[in-house]
């Protein structure tokens, strides 16, 4: 169950961007969390249970554990991003927020066409509902920290109130007046697994 402030943000998101009429595939959260070796935030679980894997306003892809599409599967993307970042940090400095022993990032979404990923900043001993968002531009060394959870950040981007240097295409070109969510099935076609 999500906290009351997250509930208000979730209700605002649903009004802003209606979820698909058909419910997404159910997720075995116990198995998902065991595979990731961590619990997951309640607001993220609510997003996945309501929307499933797919894309908000042709811009932000929501990852879901066990998605039939590798590009939207949180497990596959976590393994891939871990490998990429491990290699990257052999010659590039980690962001300051990741210098703390045991701190790591776990992906929950990515930006269409940019290589940018949205992560949670996971700190030792911190409850998942307290995790904050880190944006990595993907094709460069820049990271941006946002002191809010994934649901609040998603809503801030869609309402264009996020304090960010990114999402320029969304803010300057797309400028949606109506918000849409398209499932991975609808966008990507037949699953390739």
Considering the chain, what is the average pLDDT of its residues? 91
Question: Are the C-beta atoms of 117 and 138 separated by less than 8 Å?
Answer: yes
- 148-152 LR contacts (CB < 8 Å, sep 24+): 149/6, 149/41, 149/43, 149/44, 150/41, 150/43, 150/44, 150/47, 150/108, 150/109, 150/118, 150/120, 151/2, 151/6, 151/9, 151/10, 151/13, 151/43, 151/44, 151/46, 151/47, 152/6, 152/9, 152/43
pLDDT confidence bin for 149, thresholds 50/70/90: very high
| Residue 133 scores a pLDDT above 90 | yes
Q: What is the pLDDT of residue 155?
A: 95
> What is the value of pTM for the model shown?
0.93
Query: In this structure, what token pair is assigned to residue 124?
Result: 């030792």
Amino acid 188: pLDDT: 81
* CB-based contact 193:68 (threshold 8 Å): yes
């Amino acid at each position: 169950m999500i906290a009351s402030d997250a509930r208000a943000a979730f209700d605002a998101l649903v009004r802003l961007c209606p979820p698909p009429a058909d419910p997404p595939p159910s997720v075995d959260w116990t198995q998902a969390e065991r595979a990731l070796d961590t619990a997951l935030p309640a607001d993220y679980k609510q997003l996945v249970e309501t929307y499933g894997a797919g894309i908000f306003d042709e811009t932000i892809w929501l990852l879901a554990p066990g998605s039939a599409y590798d590009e939207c599967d949180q497990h596959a993307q976590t393994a891939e991003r871990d490998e990429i970042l491990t290699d990257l940090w052999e010659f590039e400095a980690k962001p300051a927020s990741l210098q703390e022993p045991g701190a790591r990032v776990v992906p929950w979404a990515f930006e269409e066409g940019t290589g940018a990923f949205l992560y949670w900043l996971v700190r030792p001993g911190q409850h998942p509902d307290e995790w904050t968002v880190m944006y990595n531009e993907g094709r460069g060394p820049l990271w941006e920290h946002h002191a809010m959870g994934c649901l609040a950040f998603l809503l801030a981007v869609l309402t264009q109130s996020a304090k960010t240097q990114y999402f320029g295409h969304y803010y300057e070109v797309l400028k949606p007046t109506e918000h849409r969510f398209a499932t991975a099935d609808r966008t990507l076609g037949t699953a390739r697994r």
